[in-house]
Amino acid sequence: MAEAFQFELVSPERLLLSEKVTSVVLPGAEGEFGVGAGHSPFLSTMRPGVVKALSDNGETFEYFVRGGFADVSASGTTVLAEEAIPMSEINAEFLAQQIKNAEEDAADAKTDETRQKADLVVSQLREVEQAVAAA
């Protein structure tokens, strides 16, 4: 069995998860990445997506996060999510609503920069939707 390390998922409202895990898959801003024990110190922003953690007793935890950032250090991995919801509470309708909101943001955007950002969020959310639909 792989070595375990401490993983924490925190949202502004509360500490969602604090577990010993063997691996975590995070949706980094520049692509998904996996973290195992002894990963070199690493700091990345995250795009909307799914955080998957495999605990050392075989449980998996899946959370939908809406952006945030991940801090991988020697003492463990911490994900500071802007918003995090357990995958079990996520359904297609919820995602459709999120996409709709994001699209409205894009439509309302006043500058090119904010529109680009909003468009990016829309496309990222669509990816998540596809992944959820496939699962």
Partner 1 sequence: MASLKDLKNRIASVKATQKITKAMQMVAAAKLRRAQEAAEASRPYAQRMGTVLGNLAAGVQGRDDAPKLMTGTGKEQVHLLLVCTAERGLCGGFNSSIVKLAREHANKLLAEGKDVKIITVGKKGYDALKREFAQHIIEKIELRGLKNIEFKDTKAVGELVLKMFEDEKFDVCTLFYAQFKSVISQIPTAKQLVPAHFEAQEEVAEEGADNALYEYEPGEQEILETLLPRNIAVQIYSAILENAASEQGARMSAMDNATRNAGEMIDKLTLSYNRQRQAQITKELIEIISGAEAL
Handedness of CA 39, 41, 46, 51 (dihedral sign): positive
From 1, 38, 58, 74, residue interacting with partner 1 (rule: CB under 8 A): 74
User: What are residue 71's DSSP bridge partners?
Assistant: 43, 78
Q: Which is nearer to partner 1, 41 or 58 (CB)?
A: 41
Q: Which is nearer to partner 1, 39 or 115 (CB)?
A: 39
Q: Is 55 in the site for partner 1 (CB under 8 A)?
A: no
Residues 77-116 that bind partner 1 (CB under 8 A): 78, 80, 82-83
Query: Near partner 1 by CB under 8 A, which window of 51-59, 76-84, 108-116, 126-134?
Result: 76-84
From 5, 11, 35, 121, residue interacting with partner 1 (rule: CB under 8 A): 11
The helix (run of H) or strand (run of E) holding residue 122 is helix 112-134
> Residue 62: CB partners within 8 Å, gap ≥ 6?
50, 51, 52, 53, 86, 87, 88
State how far the Cα of 114 lies from the Cα of 102, in Å rounded to an integer. Answer: 11
From 30, 89, 93, 113, residue interacting with partner 1 (rule: CB under 8 A): 30
Q: Is 29 in the site for partner 1 (CB under 8 A)?
A: yes
From 71, 103, 105, 127, residue interacting with partner 1 (rule: CB under 8 A): 71
Assess contact for 111 and 119: CB atoms under 8 A: no
- DSSP type of residue 33: E
Q: Which of 78, 75, 30 is nearest to 53 (CA)?
A: 78
- Binding-site ranges for partner 1 (CB under 8 A): 8, 10-15, 28-30, 40-45, 69, 71, 73-74, 78, 80, 82-83
